[in-house]
Amino acid sequence: MRTIDRLRSWIRSVVYRRRVDRELDAELRFHLDEQIAECLAEGMTLTDARAAAQRTFGSVTFTKEAARESLGLRLFDELAQDLRHTFRSLRKNPALAAVAIVTLALGIGANTAIFTVLDGVMFKPLPLPRADELVTFYENGPEGSADPSGGTGRFLRFSYPRFERLEQALGSSGTMAAATRSSQFAVRVPQDDRPHFVRAQLVSNRFFETMAVAPAQGRLLTADDVRGEQAVAVVSDGFWRRILNGSSNVVGRSLTVNGLPVTIVGVGAPGFVGMWTDAEAELWLPVTLQRSLHYANNSSSYGPADNTASWLGQDAVAWLTLVARIPAAHRAQAVPLLQAVNHAGVVALADTFTTPSARDTMLAHTLVVEPFSRGFSTLRSRFSDALLLLTLLVSLVLLVTCANIANLLLARAAGQARELGTRISLGASRARIIRQHLTESFALAMAGGAAGWVAGRWASALLVRQVLATGGPLPAVFTTDSRVLEFTIGASLLTAVVFGLAPALRAAQMGRMTVLGTNQRPIETATRLMRSLVIGQLAFSIFLVFAALLLGRTLLNIMRIDPGFARDHFVYASFDPITSGYPPADMPALSRRLLTALEGLPGVNSVSVSRCGLIAGCASSSGFRLEGTAEGGKTLYENWVTPAYFATTGIPLVAGRTFDEGDHETAAAVAIINRTVADRYFAGQSPIGRRLGFSQLDTEIVGVVGDARTQTLHEEPVPMVYFPIGQKKVALGNAALTNLDVRVSGDAAQAVGAIRDAIRKSEPALLVNEVAVMEQRIERDLSRERVVAYLAFSFGALTLLLASLGLYGVLSYGVMRRTAEIGVRMALGAQRGQVVRWVLGESARLMAVGSAAGLIATALGARYLSGLLFGVTPLDSISLMAVMITFAVVMTLASYLPARRAVRIDPIRALRQE
């Protein structure tokens, strides 16, 4: 209570400072007047009475100050004084202020930007009430595991019947919902002529209840909508603003989603973007519409699946991600029950398997409950190492920045030692001197922090765009919100202490020593501290530059990887025929029409169509039986291609033949395998003529092609089997053709427009996502390496600059304070060479100690690098040597100016100065 009273009194005193002053004045005048009146009553004259009263009264100012101190105002008064002093002293020294604020803005801005991305990817909770109650589920199997952070992989997907049983088992302990991964749907708004590609989720009836989202307009999906297969949709706030132009009465309006007319029943609360924080959903539809919406993405099948029927009744098709809200009190009791029910489902599914090994694998699956408060992030697993490394690097940048400013402040304090001494003699306390210096540091840090906040906001948007390889609107999770602001303010305060405390303490110490008449010692202590700071700067910047070099080499090494296909003169187009309304049976005909439309174009050497494109994030795999190998399924990646596929992509034929026009529907089924399959399963023998298949070995291997990195440049080639599009023996099912590859003779970038036009002319109804050069996909694939390398490079360059500034500062300061000594020496006949050697010798000593410390820092930091390097070891000696030489050169350059200044010292003037 009393603390609050005191605080209130203090705030009142501060806020109504003027009034408090006036009252105090009036009160003291009253007292004085009463005293005068008393003296008058005793018979004095007015003049005498006044004088006597004044005498008794003593110093009014002193009383006032003491009274103000009682009110806790003294601190405030002094703070105001300190701030005024700060402004005066910074105005007197604008170069110091500018350097400090600019470097702090860079340091804090870089930290703000990295923190924004780090927080968005790793830590920020979903913007939902009680997000810590949310959990998701995945299965742990002996054959692999899910990526529970990114929400990918088949172990995170469940069939609809399994979901229903789990939901029932959960009962009243919580709520559970199933949802598909947010994937692109084509949405047509009646008055717009072009479709919008929008991420949508198919969801079960309690989805919004589980997420605890309220409608902003209309209503959300109900059990009746879902059970009744109602063609209704809920749109996001963003969808409503961006696509429906924020118009009123959108409830009841209709949209065409993947060819199906649906009615909007509501708009979700602002900020709700579904389960993936960086792949924001904008549209939610009942899960029962799967078949009507031609949804066939992100699924895996544990056995024979019928893609012509709805997936809802099929236990073998796993396609739904589960999320549940279970209050912590119920979790311990609910989880074992869910695990038991899931196991029953696993057993039932395993019973349908024919091979014992597959059955055993399936039976080993167990249900795992994973916290879901942060939602899924497609970036989390891919970028977590990179972000942690960048956090380390960017903190070092800030430390080096702090060291720089500390050095500037120290040098200035040393120059002011006499002034400080005078102030201490006049009664300034040590605490007061320290406080005044810290006030200045905080003012600098706050100015730098404010500029850093602006820079950081801008930089984080840039960074997120690079990370996501998108030019579109940024996911809300990366907005610079109050969490980021708190971080920036915290970082600024911390830097103020880090760079300000030592100089402040030293300033007080130097002032005191000056009072005691020891003129040299304070300067010595300041110099010693400055030297250690420069050594620290050198050490950290050596590590940063080294890291930058290794990460840059990693990027180059990955870019130089031979992907197994020819990447230049290569244009691709990606499209979505199923969503566009093409029946699956039409795929071979569609591919023929596309080939005809493009083959005649000038400059086009060869064209092919395939199920999946290269480096396109499209993959499909199954367990195949291979003739002449051990029993049991071999997991092979599949692709369906037109005959010219290998010629177009440049994947070389190694043995046998490629597909040709003769491999049509009625001809014998054929397949081509890649070298990895041949080496792994047919080692030493020719696979040509062998057969493969699912239940029957009905498809003949006619060729072997080279390995290609079809998924990502980061991974070794996967075992691949190719089938001709023309043959339907191997079920293509719902799986659509999504890719077209073109090899051109001229500049690929210039061919893009003509190719896009030709596709549109031939297939006006086909939704084309992208037509671009292959390098674009490769660039996207390398976004992590590029971002990390570029950032590390900028950080390295910045710290190199700061470290050389630091060295320059220390050397200049040394020359300046020994001006007299140098003057005397030169007057006594010292050669210029000796003076230069003295400055360079000082520089070399610092460099030597700094390099040694840098080696230690590098050895300690290298392990944070190892996971992100490719083709170069974390302690690569050539790189280390290159860094050391760079530093030696840059630091010698930094020493040049101070050395020149030293030799130009005029002995006469130097002595006179003293």
Partner 1 sequence: MGKPNDLVQGTLDLLILKILSLEPRHGWAIAKRIQQVSKDTLQVQQGSLYPALYRLEHQGWVKTEWQESVTGRKAKFYSLTRAGKKRLETELENWDRLSSGINLIVRLT
Cβ distance to partner 1 smaller for residue 70 or 686? 70
Residue 23 or 143 having the CB closest to partner 1: 23
What contacts 841, CB < 8 A, 6 or more positions away?
A: none
Q: Which is nearer to partner 1, 67 or 849 (CB)?
A: 67
Q: Which is nearer to partner 1, 30 or 123 (CB)?
A: 30
> Residue 57 CB: number of other CB atoms within 10 A?
14
Q: How far is the CB of 48 from partner 1 (least distance, A)?
A: 19
C-beta closer to partner 1: residue 6 or 84: 6
- Cβ proximity of 267 and 250 under 8 Å: yes
Question: In the bound complex, what is the minimum distance in angstroms from residue 52's beta carbon to partner 1?
Answer: 14
The C-alpha atoms of residue 300 and residue 323 are separated, in whole angstroms, by 19
Please state the closest distance from residue 33 (CB atom) to partner 1, in A.
8
Q: How many C-beta atoms lie closer than 10 Å to residue 243's C-beta?
A: 19
Nearer to partner 1 among residue 31 and residue 483 (C-beta) = 31
Q: Closer to partner 1 at the Cβ: 27 or 360?
A: 27
User: In whole angstroms, how close is the CB of 246 to partner 1 at the nearest point?
Assistant: 53
Minimal distance, residue 49 CB to partner 1, in Å: 15
Tell me whether residue 15 or residue 749 sits nearer to partner 1 (CB atom): 15
Closer to partner 1 by Cβ: residue 5 or 716? 5
- Whichever of 28 and 654 has its CB closer to partner 1, that residue is 28
Q: How many helices (H) and strands (E) does the chain have?
A: 27, 24
Pairwise CA distance, residues 100 & 95, whole Å: 8
Burial 836-867 (b: 16+ CB within 10 A, else e): bebbbebbeebbebbbebbbebbeebbebbee
User: Shortest gap between Cβ of 75 and partner 1 (angstroms)?
Assistant: 13
Q: Which is nearer to partner 1, 32 or 454 (CB)?
A: 32
Phi-psi region of 255 (alpha: psi -120 to 50; beta: other; left: phi over 0): beta
Nearest distance, CB of residue 50 and partner 1, angstroms: 15
Q: Which is nearer to partner 1, 66 or 102 (CB)?
A: 66
421-425-428-432 Cα dihedral, nearest 10 degrees: 30
Report yes or no: 539 and 850 within 8 Å, Cβ to Cβ: yes
Distance CA 623, CA 113 (A): 45
The distance of closest approach from Cβ of residue 56 to partner 1 in the complex, given in angstroms and rounded to an integer, is 8
Under a CB-based contact definition with an 8 Å cutoff, are residues 634 and 679 in contact?
no
Using DSSP, state whether 20 is helix, strand or coil. helix
Residue 23 or 568 with smaller CB distance to partner 1: 23
Provide the 8-state DSSP code for 294.
T
Q: Which two tokens stand for residue 564?
A: 């197994």
Give dist(CA 577, CA 895) in Å, integer. 66
Nearer to partner 1, 9 or 355 (CB): 9
Least Å from the CB of residue 23 to partner 1: 7
Q: Minimum CB separation from partner 1 for residue 31, in Å?
A: 5
Nearer to partner 1, 18 or 62 (CB): 62
Return all residues near 562 (Cβ < 8 A) that are at least 6 apart: none
Strands 260-268 and 232-235: parallel
Q: Indicate the length of the chain as a whole number.
A: 914
Phi and psi dihedrals of 669, rounded to 5?
-70, 135
Contact status, residue 121 vs residue 385, Cβ threshold 8 Å: no
E-state strands within 247-313: 254-257, 260-268, 283-286, 300-301
Q: Could you tell me the smallest distance in angstroms from the CB atom of residue 11 to partner 1?
A: 11
CA distances, 810 to each of 61, 102, 283 (Å): 45, 20, 61
Round to whole Å and give the CA distance between 199 and 580.
15
Provide φ and ψ at 469, rounded to 5°. 50, 55
Q: Of 404, 391, 482, which is closest to residue 104 (Cα–Cα)?
A: 404
**Sign of the four-CA dihedral 904, 908, 913, 914:** positive
Q: Which residues bind partner 1 (CB under 8 A)?
A: 1-2, 5-6, 9-10, 13, 23-24, 26-28, 30-31, 33-35, 37, 57-59, 62-63, 66-72
Least Å distance between CB 123 and partner 1?
43
**326 and 174 in contact (C-beta within 8 Å)?**
yes
Nearer CB in complex with partner 1: 63/352? 63
Take residue 276 and report the two structure tokens written for it.
């993936």
Shortest spacing between CB 37 and partner 1, in angstroms: 8
Q: Give me the least distance between CB of 26 and partner 1, in Å please.
A: 8
In 10 A of CB 360, how many CB atoms? 12
Least separation in angstroms between CB 134 and partner 1 = 47
In angstroms, how far is CA 66 from the centroid of its own chain? 54
Amino acid at 472: G
Residue 788, sorted as left (phi over 0), alpha (psi -120 to 50) or beta, turns out to be: alpha
Closest distance of CB 69 from partner 1, Å: 7
CB of 912 to partner 1, least distance (A): 49
Residue closer to partner 1, measured from CB, 72 or 656: 72
Identify which of residues 70 and 831 has a Cβ nearer to partner 1 in the complex: 70
Query: Contact at 8 Å (CB) between 775 and 567?
Result: yes
Q: Distance between CA 163 and CA 869 in Å, rounded? A: 41
Q: Rounded to whole angstroms, how far apart are CA atoms 858 and 104?
A: 24
Shortest distance in whole angstroms from residue 24 CB to partner 1: 8
CA 127, CA 123: separation in Å to the nearest integer? 12
Cα–Cα distance list, 374 to 139, 273, 326, 426, 713 (Å) = 19, 13, 15, 59, 29
Closest CA to 489 of 141, 115, 774: 115
